Amino acid sequence: EVNAKHFAIPGAKSQARAIESALSEAGCKASDIDMLEAHATGTQGGDTIELEAIYSVYGKRESGQPLWLGSCK
For range 3-28, the mean pLDDT: 86
Q: How many residues does the chain have?
A: 73
In Å, how far are 1, 38, 39, 51, 57 from 70, measured between CA atoms? 32, 6, 9, 11, 16
Tell me if 46 sits within 8 A of 12, measured CB to CB.
no
Residue 37 CA, chain-centre distance (Å), reads: 9
Please determine, for residue 56, whether its predicted confidence score (pLDDT) is greater than 70: yes
Q: Is the pTM of this model over 0.85?
A: no
pLDDT at 20: 96
State whether residue 31 is helix, strand or coil.
Answer: helix
Pairing verdict, β 35-37 and 68-70: parallel
Between 34 and 42, residue with greater pLDDT: 34
Report percent pLDDT > 90 for the chain.
49
- Residue 2 in this model has a pLDDT that exceeds 70: no
